[in-house]
Amino acid sequence: MPIRNRFAELHDEITAWRRDIHQNPEILYETHRTSALVADKLKEFGCDEVVTGIGRTGVVGVIRGRSTGSGKVIGLRADMDALPIHEATGVEYASKTPGAMHACGHDGHTAMLLGAARYLAETRNFDGTAVVIFQPAEEGGGGGKEMCDDGLMERFGIQEVYGMHNWPGKPVGSFAIRPGSFFAATDQFDIDVTGRGGHAAKPHETVDPTVMTAHLVTMLQTIASRNADPVDQVVVSVTSFQTSSNAFNVIPASVHLKGTVRTMSTGMRDLAERRIRELCEHVAAGFGGKAEVTYHRGYPVMVNHEDQTDFAADVARRIAGDCGEAPLVMGGEDFAFMLEERPGAYILVGNGDTAMVHNPEYNFNDEAIPAGCSWWAGIVEERMPG
d(Cα 383, Cα 73) in Å, to the nearest integer? 10
- Residues 6 or more apart whose CB falls under 8 angstroms from that of 149 comprise 55
d(Cα 336, Cα 332) in Å, to the nearest integer? 9
* DSSP state letters, 177-237: E-SEEEE-EEEEEEEEEE-B-EETT-GGGSB-HHHHHHHHHHHHTHIIIIIS-TTS-EEEE
Catalytic residue among 26, 30, 79, 81: 81
d(Cα 316, Cα 91) in Å, to the nearest integer? 30
Q: Is 310 in the active site?
A: no
* Ordered strands of the 254-263 beta sheet: 234-243, 254-263, 185-194, 290-299
Catalytic residue among 26, 87, 107, 138: 138
* DSSP state letters, 321-349: S--EEPPPB-S--THHHHHHHS-EEEEEE
Residue 299 pairs with which residues in a beta bridge? 186
Q: Quote the longest CA-to-CA distance of the chain.
A: 82
Coil, strand, or helix at residue 73? strand
d(Cα 191, Cα 238) in Å, to the nearest integer? 10
**Pairing verdict, β 290-299 and 73-79:** unpaired
Q: Is 150 in the active site?
A: no
Active site residues: 81, 138
